[in-house]
Chains A and B, each alone.
Chain A
């Protein structure tokens, strides 16, 4: 049972480069999320997708784009990376049942130099 799988685990980018973080879940969840985690700032929501075919901005969407490719996959793209995007990124998914928990991927540690 893989749960939520994120790739890559680590990445170093130069300023201006682009990259896509991949996320897939095998729990048939409707909702998927992308967060960034920074020291002292907790988890901040970048984008989320309540269901296949829909995406919405979270708290800190600037500089990012997302694609909900199908029910399983939700990717995050940095078009032109900036040092301020150095962070740990987590993908998560949850079902639609009351009390259901969110399941997280193992995180991507991104450094932009």
Chain B
């Protein structure tokens, strides 16, 4: 079955600490993965997509096909990173996004 798992509902770190938000997926075929972010009371917006291998706001995410993971990392968390983060997998067959349940990141001063 196609699935995205984000094992942590809540992650709390101090400012300046490294942060890693975990995402594991199950998909038959070559996956197309994204990280979306939702700041308080705002719309969801794309943060990263694996296909472009970019770094946005200091965040990076590497696709590890062996471990079927797409973890989101930042070496030094900032308070403005506090938000809800969703990992998503694109089902290329019907182009529906399969969502994880999200991880709420709290960066404390």
Contact = CB atoms under 8 A, between A and B. Distances in A.
Interface of A: 31, 33, 40-43, 45, 48, 50, 56, 58, 90, 92, 94, 96, 98-99, 101-102, 104-107
A87 to B, nearest CB: 15
Contacts, number: 50
A40 B49 CA distance: 24
Given A33-B97, A99-B52, 9 more contacts: A33-B96, A43-B99, A58-B96, A90-B44, A98-B51, A98-B92, A99-B49, A101-B46, A106-B43
A104 B96 CA distance: 14
Interface in B31-86: 32, 34, 36, 42-46, 49, 51-52, 86
B101 interface: yes
A33 B96 CA distance: 9
Contact of B96 (A45, A96, A98, A105): A45
Nearest to B48: A101
Interface residues of B, number: 23
Interface of B: 9, 32, 34, 36, 42-46, 49, 51-52, 86, 88, 92, 94-97, 99-102
Nearest to A96: B95
A94 B49 contact: no
A93 to B, nearest CB: 11
Nearest to B94: A50
A31 B95 contact: yes
Given A42-B86, A99-B32, A101-B46, A48 B51 contact: no
8 contacts: A33-B97, A42-B101, A43-B44, A94-B97, A96-B95, A99-B49, A102-B44, A105-B43
A48 B94 CA distance: 10
A96 B102 CA distance: 25
B101 A102 contact: no
A24 B59 CA distance: 31
